[in-house]
Amino acid sequence: MKKPPLTLYLAAPRGFCAGVDRAIKIVEMALQKWGPPVYVRHEIVHNKFVVDGLRAKGAVFVEELQECPDDRPVIFSAHGVPKSVPAEAAQREMIYVDATCPLVSKVHVEAQRHADAGLQMIMIGHKGHPETVGTMGQLPEGDVLLVETVDDVATVQVRDPQKLAFVTQTTLSVDDTKDIIAALQARFPAIVGPHKEDICYATTNRQEAVKSVAPKADALLVVGAPNSSNSRRLVEVASREGCQYAQLVQRATEIDWRALEGISTVAVTAGASAPEVLVNEVIEAFSAHYDVTVEPVETAIENVEFKVPRVLRQPA
């Protein structure tokens, strides 16, 4: 039977960003240097396929430092950790490697700098997300106030409206965050923002790529994990840009073919922690059902690279 034709728009940039690349490399190099097991506090990045692959090589994923023995190396995830975590590791004389994305570390430094200047911090982020927990944990408890929505801005209680600064989670929706910042500035005209916006280049680039493909696709699939903030934002951006059917899938096996009946164009992208192998798997799945023409749509070129910590570049 002849397969129906389908145009597949492949958004770029997509998939791994420099911070995710570095974090995965850190775990692999730690396993090479110290041998398994190497402990990792929290998922190194939010992707089951990646985590399972590292687990198979000897990485042990835990939620808290208490679950790690003193005599094995531990790695902190790309999302960052509260200050109390490395402090505890140092007290226990553990070998630890911080895989926090340098762009998240920049937000940590910013928060500390504002606090040192006597400003109370407001963080725009998602409650309970590891990155938000890590950033808020750079300062004493209660010193950072969290706002998630424009409505939250109206009710947040501050110490002094004249002495405020804000930071944001790096993986938020650029458009949503813009609205929240505008609300903060309207209510607190003296609030100080970051020198350069906190939402990272990779999040911004992936959202821009989705904006360019979403209006011309009958459906858009984001390859990514349900707990990946930046992947979920891509689905929201696609819907906002007029794509009738936007879905998050972890693997090709999650594609709902019934929902896609009658389509002639589909766009595919991937969150910053999803490997390209999973994108290829999705393309192959479409090729099994349709006569596919792949059209790349590139809106930016990324050439960012972050160095791994020095401890991993030195011999054991």
Active site residues: 131
Compute the distance between CA of residue 38 and CA of residue 32 in angstroms, rounded to an integer. Answer: 10
Alpha-carbon separation of residue 270 from 103, 109, 175, 184, 185 (angstroms) = 20, 29, 19, 31, 33
CB contact at 8 A, 42 and 130 = yes
Compute the distance between CA of residue 132 and CA of residue 168 in angstroms, rounded to an integer. Answer: 8
Sign of CA dihedral 44, 103, 180, 239: negative
Compute the distance between CA of residue 28 and CA of residue 40 in angstroms, rounded to an integer. Answer: 11
Give the length of the chain. 316
- 236 CB contacts (<8 Å, ≥6 apart)? 173, 176, 246
Compute the distance between CA of residue 179 and CA of residue 199 in angstroms, rounded to an integer. Answer: 14
